Structure 1
Amino acid sequence: MPGVKVSVIVPVHNTGKYVDECAPSLLGQSLPADEYEVIYVDDGSSDDTPARVEKLAAVHPNVQVHTRPNSGWPGAPRNLGIRHAEGEYIQFVDHDDMLGPEALERLYEHAKHNDADVVLGKMSSTMVRPRRLFRHTVDVCTIEYDELMQSMSPHKMFRRAFIEEHGLLFPEGPWILEDLAFVSAAYLKAERISVLADYPCYYWMKRDDGGNNTRHRFNPRHGFWSNCRTVVRQIKDGTPPSDDIDALQNRLLHRLYHVEILSRTREPEILREEPAAQRERFEAARHLAIEEFPAAVREGLPTLSRLRAELLERGDFDGAVALAERIREVKVRSTVGGLRWKGGRLVADVTLDLQRGDGEPLVLLERDGKRWLDPELLAGVPGTEDGWEARDPFRLAYAELVVKDRDREDWWYPEGDLEVRLEPFGQGRSRLVASGRLRLDPERLAGGRPLARGVHDVWAYVQLLGVDRMVRLTGDGTPGAPAAGPALTGGRLALPYWTGSGQLALDVDQRRRRLGSDTAGAAAANTARGEASLPLPYLAATAASGPARLKVTVSALTADAALIAGDDGTTARLRLPARLRLPDGRHPVALPRSGAPVAYAVVRDGALLRLEGPAHASGAGRRFLDAVADHRQVRRVRRRLGR
């Protein structure tokens, strides 16, 4: 294909229906079909996968299919795809994942604008927590940017000339960690790396049959430990050694040590797997840690992670189990205060801290001019009878708020940062606390765009002292009740509420919640021109954004109504249709699932004369005007009077 901008390479093997589920996202891209190609590489499937991809190729000119004997892993098919690719850039996609509709167009434009060798597109996933790497878009960085090591999967866009120049290839055969080997090599060689964080590019989805999990990664024939050693040496060969815990090599190796080594010593794995198998993994991790990782990597770990490393390297499996059992019970407590709408944002003061399994705060003790881990947490852990020093309580500590689109698995980061601080707790004790302000702007949160219609849950991620937790933000409000007043934003209603478990959520455009008696007060005053005021706080809505639509009940009639932002910034106006199929009279207007009326509609000959608040009482003069409302002279006078 001449002028191909992007080649999408998709390895497939016994994929079955997942080919058909993935294909629409690949073939429905906003990038014109003649500007990208989709290359399926079948790795010796024994089911109907070849027929499925050939069927796609027969219908779509930009799809091609290549086959090869089964290799047992994605590396060889990806390499074959690289050899056939004609695109300026290559995007790797797994057969059971999906791309966002504008992913290729946006990634390519970002790559060209920044002359990037590698572009990381924002990932959404049902399998892993959100990565702060995708909090902000980055035009250009290098491997010195620490956040890159949070994303080691191959689902990125690479400049094809860059791949060819450096001879980058995936290890072939049953080679677990082939993605780490390829991506770390690319990071080390790349001169310009870009991050696109304002659009969900890649959806990494969990299969319903569990076929894309990696719990089989320790099969001896996959060579996990030797492969991990290869990746470690690749990083060491590409960076200068140093005893400084913050030197580049030690920062890069930290990710491998934390994820691939310490996972063998901590919950849930060490408590979940069969003990004999886990002891074997523990010993293998111990040998690799001692033989390949510099001491500075271990010294640079947070307090509890450093203790885990100590237990691992001295071979204390029982001690590691005991510590894992205690840390498993640690929870994050959240405090939410002052939840309100301010300046177009849902605002709240948030505080997060750690609690032991008994519900008491996890504290640090001050003794002999040093800080020590909470002895209650370490009770029963061998080798910690004399305590464990918290040399730097702030080491790699951070906390952040994230908002999850419940329907789409997208994660977004609201404005503001949480600050980690030590707070005195009396009697020579202190506790590590993260606090700050939630600022959730429904009109800009989704990469500068409005949030999509649906329910959006507010979460917090905490990493303190080596304990990491992803938790829902929980307050002390009544479960199921509104968390703050409703808002009118961008022509839609935004309804904050506490879920049945007391967790903060925001319903945008009435996906599950409705404006009702528990979310809006009653109008109290009569207004003219067929509208009534409701005491409804709203976000900065302009005339261009349009009114918010909703259903109301007028007597027994269901009618379409609109809420229009008032000029004072604290009210919205309710507008009903000019014609109502109702008898003459005064009819109660109620919101869905609401008993008390918010207004009364005065109807004459099927026409809405006006809306009245529930507290309004019509005088004799008003009743006379209603009776003669169809008189031409009266209508003219009413218009002159501005009624």
Structure 2
Amino acid sequence: MSPSAEASAEVRPPSVRVSVVVPVFNPGPSFDDLIASLERQSLDASQFEVLLCDDGSDEPTQRRLEQVERAHANVRVLALPHSGWPGTPRNEGVAAARGDYVQFVDQDDYLFDTALEKLVEYADAHASDVVVGREVGIGRPLPSRIFRKDIPDAKLGEDPLLEMLTPHKLFRTSFLRENGIRFPVGRVRLEDHLYVMQAYFAARTISILASVPCYAWVKHPGSASSSRIDPESYYPHLEAVLDIVEANTEPGRTRDRLLRHWLRGKILKRLSGKRMLRYPAEYRTRLLDVVTPLVAARFGPGVDAGLAFPQRIRVALLRAGRRDDLVRFAEFEAGLKARVAVSSAEWSRGGGLHLAITTTVTSGGREALVFEAETGRLTSLPLESLDDLPAGALVAGRELRNDRIEVFLEGEKPGMERRIVNAKLRDGGTIRVAIDPLKVFGGEAAPAALRLTAKVRRAGWTFAVPVTAEADVLARAGGSPLLAGSAVTITATEGGAVELHRSGSGRLRDLAGKSVRRVRQLARR
């Protein structure tokens, strides 16, 4: 080896498995949670580096970052001029990364303890260019369909990849560099979508790791996502995302399916129900002035066809220029109320609790969703006219066939939720529910009280509500006649919410002497 080659080998920094790239600008106290989560990683600290890409923070923050760097051998601080947006710091982090992979993390979020280890293992096993690790919303709801199961080779347009377009993913570093995938420079809205969609189209393998919680996405007051957009400046950035989709697809079903994501989430969602009604009249006019021609130019009938029933009505009114009816429709949606009520309750001879539960959707005390029996056409909308909308816009055929109700038992602590029913809504919305108290209150750690809640899907609308009952309906049921040593009763709170209560101590035991422990032993055989 020549002297120059030896010198080059000596100064070349060793590679690591993954580089964690964090854009930083004057972070708050939650930044400590991020650093602590990186300290807890099950992947050995010698196998990953943390790049704190400082976007021109103030002097106190600079000193804070220096202290973190001194305290951790695997942390590097990149001091950068202030750009005002996370794109440039992320790009600089990728350029400086020594890892086989890059994992983007925002300064207010954190990683679960095994995240880096499991993400790298999964990417290695499947030769992934992109791994979408399971995100968990802290103080914010997140889409769930994308994380129902692991998908080693997810397909764009077939699997639910568009549900999660945040950059909080693992990317193969060489893949990003070879394809020139970079965040836009400057203050660009939807920069995450621009970046991720470029990566999705270029990737040979995209994987979803749903079985392991990886990323905690924390909701903080005043975050950018909670502010009202400026229509005139926001939607040109949306069109840039649509340009990427159109440049990488041919006209047809796949393109329509992809474009539908942004029509639904970035336009129609902003025109729905209470959200639409909260807008001042001047802002509503500005918003409609921008999105009406955008919808006409960028989204065809094939995109509309795959929308849910309420969205098909909304886009039909938008295309027809019926702005007053858009407001009326929003008022109609805002007034919809679902009621899930126990109409009868009794204990069976076998010790189970049997409930009849009825679902109704009303507005102003009247049935709100009235459909023609033969056609499935909605006839109860308070619009100026129902006759001049496109054929089928008011027909909820497939949605009515998919009407469902899910019933849950929930404890006071987060995560203490058990789904006990997932059924189609039939026979006027009445279902039968059976609850086994030995299973519900099994074990020493079982809660003393559980409440009944429901999720109702009706004609494309979704409602999450408590299950309620009149006190006298439940009083007639009393307690279980077959449980010894403690009692299980069903009651209603002052607001009518239904709860199951267990009193007494020790394991539940029926009169035949069968305990929960014995039931579990038999089940394992």
Q: TM-score range by the shorter chain?
A: 0.7 to 0.9
3-state DSSP class of the match of 1:123? strand
The structure where helix makes up a greater share of residues is 2
Distance change >3 Å, CA 130–CA 259, structure 1 → 2: closer
Contact 1:477/1:483 (8 A) holds in 2: no
Match of 1:393 in 2: 397
Could you tell me which runs of 5 or more consecutive residues in structure 1 were left unpaired when the two chains were aligned.
Answer: 426-432, 444-450, 486-493, 507-512, 526-532, 543-566, 570-643
Per-residue deviation, 1:14: 2.0
Whether contact under 8 Å (1:418, 1:434) holds in the other structure is: no
The one-letter amino acid paired with 2:235 is W
1:468 lines up with 2:462 in the alignment: yes
Question: Aligned in 2, Cα 1:229/1:197: closer, same or farther, shift over 3 Å?
Answer: same
TM-aligned CA deviation for residue 416 of structure 1: 8.1
Q: Any conservation in 1 of the 2:129–2:171 contact (CA below 8 Å)?
A: yes
- Could you tell me how far apart the structure 2 residues matched to 1:568 and 1:141 are? 36
Identity %: 29
Shift in Å, 1:261:
1.1
Q: Which residue of 1 aligns with 2:219?
A: 206
Q: 1:211 to 1:404 in 2, by over 3 A?
A: farther
Cα distance 1:233–1:199, how it changes in 2: closer, same or farther (>3 A)?
same
The reply to whether residue 161 of structure 1 matches residue 179 of structure 2 is no
Assess if the C-alpha contact under 8 Å between 1:418 and 1:436 holds in 2: no
After superposition, where does 1:477-496 map in structure 2 within 5 Å? none
Q: Determine which structure has more spread, i.e. the larger CA radius of gyration.
A: 1
Q: How do 1:593-632 and structure 2 match up within 5 A?
A: none
* 2:87 aligned residue (71, 75, 95): 75
**1-side partners of 2:179 and 2:405: how far apart?**
37
Segments of 5+ residues of structure 2 without an aligned counterpart are 1-12, 440-444, 481-487
Distance 1:51 1:202, change over 3 A: same
Cα distance in 1 between the residues matched to 2:355 and 2:202:
44
Equivalent residue letter for 1:40:
L
Q: CA deviation at 1:76?
A: 1.3
Which structure has the higher relative contact order (CA within 8 Å, separation 6+)? 2
* Distance (whole Å) between structure 2 residues aligned to residue 86 and residue 349 of structure 1: 61
SS in 2 for 1:5: strand
* Contact kept in structure 2, 1:319 and 1:382, CA below 8 Å: yes
- Is it true that 1:5 corresponds to 2:17 in the alignment? yes
C-alpha distance in structure 2 between counterparts of 1:184 and 1:371, whole Å: 37
CA 1:144–1:329 in 2, change beyond 3 Å: closer, same or farther?
same
- The residue matched to 1:119 in structure 2 has which SS? strand
Per-residue Cα deviation, 1:474-494 (whole angstroms, up to 9, x for no partner)? 253869999998xxxxxxxx9
Instruction: Please report how far the alpha carbon of residue 351 of structure 1 lies from its aligned counterpart in structure 2 after TM superposition.
Output: 7.2
Tell me the equivalent position of 1:145.
158
The residue that corresponds to 1:249 in the other structure is 255
- Please say if 1:365 is aligned against 2:359: no
User: Scaled by the length of structure 1, what TM-score is found?
Assistant: 0.66
Matched, 1:231 2:238: no
1:296-335 correspondence to structure 2 within 5 Å: 296-334=302-340
Take 2:83 and 2:353, find their aligned partners in 1: how far apart are those partners?
52
Deviation of 1:111 after TM superposition, in Å, equals 2.0
What is the deviation of 1:468? Answer: 3.3
8 Å Cα contact 1:333/1:354 also seen in 2: yes
Give CA deviations for 1:9-39 in whole Å, capped at 9, x if unaligned: 1112121322113221122111111111221
TM-score by length of 2: 0.79
SS of residue paired to 1:42: strand
Give the CA deviation at 1:414. 5.3
- Offset of residue 268 of structure 1: 2.6
Aligned 8 A contact 2:19 2:97 in 1:
yes
The AA in structure 2 aligned to 1:148 is: L
Q: What does 1:485-524 align with in structure 2 at a 5 Å threshold?
A: 516-517=503-504
Match of 2:122 among 104, 110, 123: 110
**Residue among 374, 379, 382 paired with 2:379:** 374
Offset at residue 279 of structure 1 (A): 1.4
Match of 1:287 among 287, 293, 300: 293
1:168-207 aligned at under 5 Å gives the runs 168-207=181-220
SS of the residue 1:391 aligns to: coil
Q: 1:352 offset after TM fit, Å?
A: 5.7
